Copies of this chain bind each other. A is one copy, B any other.
């Protein structure tokens, strides 16, 4: 079926009449057909009203039915086949291998959450049995479960057109939690969004889920995104994007008559700490690997290493030389959108003209919308004096901060904002020095990793893709991995509720066979 440019509202489709959104060929800047009609506030109203109506029946679907629904979405996405890959490559400028990998990740996430749902542990069932003979007062029968918060707004992300967009992490975890989802498609990849959206819409029908379980809206301006977060039926929002965009949504959410949580992943420069033992043993190799991580996906990973911290000295030279050599042959790569490319070029220019920053090297020059990698250096003193040097330059630009000694390095760490990841490169001889920094690293980042770079984000149970502000708006949660389901849940307690009125997960029969804590055990 060819792309139609239609909105997907519950079971139906319709042409949005509020302006038009076009995908662009990221490599050439050319408009791609068709145009996607922007949603009106009436469309939003209908999607929200359907989502609200779907919430009750959807959240009480059986665990098996919900798991199968998630698996059906995954299968439907695979079934789109090459059309999805081709459109996504064109809209994102990302290479085919990367998009195929991202599709695998997206499908894997949906299947992971299907298993999370089947397991039922996310329900957090707890039973404190009655103690009718307790003195001075009998203890009532108390049972607790987690239920979905309500309909969730998900914002597609430019840099993960599949894994963090229409059927990405937030959608998968919200649907797993029992929450209907309304996606605001990212304007950078409307065609990809429609294709995936139709796969979800078909799964809703095929799995006989309530109609409003899923809708997809295109937004020709900002009214739909803002309107979604402001809508009283929406109870949480997931966003990956710029700091300005994320904080704007946080403000709307906080100003509602009923404030709601916004899970915004916004800004992270993912510091890399290089220790002397590691530098001495394999500085050049680390430098080369670093450039690989820096330029991966045109530097457009949220976990891109934008800051290198090391004690200055001879041992740092090997790293710098290795990085410079790798950089010199690092090919420029097409960026996600002409706008992102422009912002990247401006960020690099600012660093180039910064009086306290020295350019160490650049990657090869590319085509019109390709980002050229860039590596800069400064001193800890200047870094601390110029807070603007902590601002993320989205793309493959990084800054080395030369510190005088470990105390100086500690001072820089203390001044860092919240991060998604902090990486350490270590040999055994560096452990004592590293141990001292572990506490501040845990406090600044969602993930601390050793002898690698943050760019690979494993989808598992022990992953945290999150971190203190401004890395995210809410460091208490993760957006990747099975724990992500927690962000869309809230606890409800049932006291002395008769068995036939209890939800199945809490009934004596325990028909889903889930694990439950009895008296905290």
Q: Which residue numbers of A lie inside 8 Å of B, CB to CB?
A: 55-56, 60, 115-116, 119, 126-128, 137, 139-140, 142-144, 147, 149-150, 250-251, 254, 258-259, 261, 418, 426, 428, 431, 434-435, 438-439, 442-443, 445-452, 456, 458, 460-464, 466, 468-470, 473-478, 482-483, 489-498, 500-501, 503, 517, 519-520
Contacts and interface: CB of A to CB of B under 8 A. Distances in A.
A259 B473 contact: yes
A257 to B, nearest CB: 8
Nearest to A254: B254
B491 A60 contact: no
Nearest to A147: B442
Copies in the complex: 2
Nearest to A124: B483
Contact of A492 (B127, B150, B464, B493): B464
A445 to B, nearest CB: 7
A418 B448 contact: no
Question: What's the dominant secondary structure at chain A's contact region?
Answer: mixed
A461 B431 contact: no
A426 B498 contact: yes
A520 B147 CA distance: 20
Given A142-B462, A251-B254, A448-B494, 12 more contacts: A119-B520, A139-B460, A140-B452, A150-B443, A431-B500, A431-B501, A446-B493, A449-B496, A452-B495, A458-B495, A463-B493, A464-B492
Given A483-B144, A495-B448, A461 B517 contact: yes
A513 to B, nearest CB: 15
B60 A498 contact: no
A144 B452 contact: no
A435 B501 contact: yes
Contacts of A142: 458, 460, 462-463
Closest 8 CB pairs of A and B: A449-B495, A464-B493, A142-B462, A144-B462, A461-B520, A126-B462, A254-B254, A447-B493
A449 B144 contact: no
Nearest to A129: B462
A491 B139 CA distance: 33
A381 to B, nearest CB: 23
A474 B489 CA distance: 11
B476 A261 contact: yes
